[in-house]
Homo-oligomer: A and B are copies of this chain.
Amino acid sequence: MRTRPLKVALLGCGVVGSEVARIMTTHAADLAARIGAPVELAGVAVRRPSRVREGIDPGLVTTDATALVKRGDIDVVVEVIGGIEPARTLITTAFEHGASVVSANKALLAQDGAALHAAAEEYDADLYYEAAVAGAIPLIRPLRESLAGDKVNRVLGIVNGTTNFILDKMDSTGAGYQEALDEATALGYAEADPTADVEGFDAAAKAAILAGIAFHTRVRLDDVYREGMTEVTAADFASAREMGCTIKLLAICERAADGASVTARVHPAMIPLSHPLASVRGAYNAVFVESDASGQLMFYGPGAGGAPTASAVLGDLVAVCRNRLNGGTGPGESAYAALPVSGMGEVVTRFHISLDVADKPGVLAQVATVFAEHGVSIDTVRQQGKDGEASLVVVTHRASDAALNGTVEALRKLDTVRGVASIMRVEGE
């Protein structure tokens, strides 16, 4: 074994960073044996140096992250700051100064992955980011390496623990969205400002990263259709249950049937209770991957948290250190397929539509005619009347988003339709 240690600079020492530092210390001998050389924490860049950091030599702590990545003797920079800047500049600077990078930064990877990969390649460095998607769950590496000889057609998963906790709570207790969110906040599952989670931004960033790797095509955050889950109601859950379904916020990356384009989207959807994703509880994550040869694979585990995310970071750190000792790099960006990323209009799925209608004869015929005129075939209709008002629940066969939108627009113009209470996609069948 080499005795000269590999030097690691840690950018950020919050929930994840402190776990990375802790494990680097407590598991030092194991890491050295697995890498073939010791790894040494050479510096820790933080914003608030005064905070006591248990187990970290105060002499390593600095507020000057730029100087740390510019030192020139750093082998690997571990970036767990999050956000776009200063993370992006620091990572680029790290490459320029000879370091490889391990990052957990989904937002940055989803927005600027291509540029960062190009920088890594220019400087013959590694850029690894298993921790950016679904915490501890090995997903990037299986997609990028284990399935490198297969053709992935679909990635379908729960990649945000906060929203899964909220939806699971609504499902199991009948709580409304706000009540479930309040509980998630109280328990520390949701942040004070939950926007990134509940509006699907976090899941959309992960969908962009997963789609890019799965389809060997650049997919940016802007390419991902995104719908949050703040409008999911207890009534939606009741409707879902009547269909033998539950509701999950799903990230779905699909290759079109003709193979010529791909789509990526995040939205709440009904899935059958018999689907393995339906039983993913609390803040857990799970991702289904469907490929030509392998068939359906599922990966399940804790999608967030300091220790699980640190586990993913350290797995990457070991890989990057090994590559460095071997004098090479691991697989870089693979975007050769360069498939067009289609918009939501091209997506074909089933829909569950709940309408408030007048309770009089002929309404169902009117509504059915509108669906037929737009080429959307109806699977089932359920009608419930009360006090001159009625609700009509329509479940369609597979239809494009464009056709469904046209249908709904026309429905809204009918005198007998008082309102469209909810529209939800049905997936996983």
Which of A169-177, A238-246, A295-303 is the contact stretch?
Answer: A295-303
* Distance A315 CA – B293 CA, assembled complex (angstroms): 11
- Hey, what's the 0/1 contact readout for A280-324 against B, CB within 8 Å counting as 1? 000000000001111111111110010110111111111100100
A314: which of B23, B135, B293, B326 is its contact (CB, 8 Å)?
Answer: B293
- Hey, what's the 0/1 contact readout for A98-138 against B, CB within 8 Å counting as 1? 00000000000000000000000000000000100001111
Contact yes or no, A301 B294, CB < 8 A: yes
* Distance A279 CA – B276 CA, assembled complex (angstroms): 9
* Distance A327 CA – B328 CA, assembled complex (angstroms): 8
Q: Does A48 contact B (CB under 8 A)?
A: no
Q: Which residues of B contact A316 (CB under 8 A)?
A: 149
* Distance A34 CA – B336 CA, assembled complex (angstroms): 8
A interface residue count range (under 10 / 10 to 19 / 20 to 34 / 35 or more): 35 or more
Contact yes or no, B34 A151, CB < 8 A: no
Q: Which residues of B contact A299 (CB under 8 A)?
A: 297-300
Interface core residue of A293, A328, A334 (most chain B CB under 10 Å): A293
Contact yes or no, B149 A31, CB < 8 A: yes
- Say how far A14's CB is from chain B's closest CB, in angstroms: 16
Chain A 36-63 interface residues, beta-carbon cutoff 8 Å to B: none
Asked whether A30 and B141 contact (CB < 8 A) given A294-B307, A297-B299, the answer is no
Contact yes or no, B145 A319, CB < 8 A: yes
Which single residue of chain B is at the shortest CB-CB distance from A139? B146
Q: Does A70 contact B (CB under 8 A)?
A: no
* Distance A305 CA – B295 CA, assembled complex (angstroms): 10
Stoichiometry, copies per complex: 2
Q: Which residues of B contact A19 (CB under 8 A)?
A: 293
* Distance A295 CA – B136 CA, assembled complex (angstroms): 8
Contact yes or no, A336 B297, CB < 8 A: no
Q: Which residues of B contact A138 (CB under 8 A)?
A: 138, 141-142, 146-147, 297
Contact yes or no, B27 A151, CB < 8 A: yes
Interface core residue of A305, A312, A315, A329 (most chain B CB under 10 Å): A315
Q: Which residues of B contact A276 (CB under 8 A)?
A: 279, 300
Q: Does A72 contact B (CB under 8 A)?
A: no
Q: Which residues of B contact A33 (CB under 8 A)?
A: 216, 334, 336-337
Contact yes or no, B311 A291, CB < 8 A: yes
- Say how far A80's CB is from chain B's closest CB, in angstroms: 14
Chain A 1-48 interface residues, beta-carbon cutoff 8 Å to B: 19, 23, 27, 30-31, 33-34
Which single residue of chain B is at the shortest CB-CB distance from A147? B315
Chain A 316-375 interface residues, beta-carbon cutoff 8 Å to B: 316-319, 322, 326-329, 331, 334, 336-337
Interface core residue of A34, A148, A313, A314 (most chain B CB under 10 Å): A148
A313: which of B34, B149, B337 is its contact (CB, 8 Å)?
Answer: B149
Query: Can you pick out 11 interface pairs between chain A and chain B where the beta carbons lie within 8 Å of each other?
Result: A27-B149, A141-B142, A147-B311, A149-B313, A149-B318, A150-B314, A276-B279, A293-B310, A295-B308, A297-B301, A322-B331
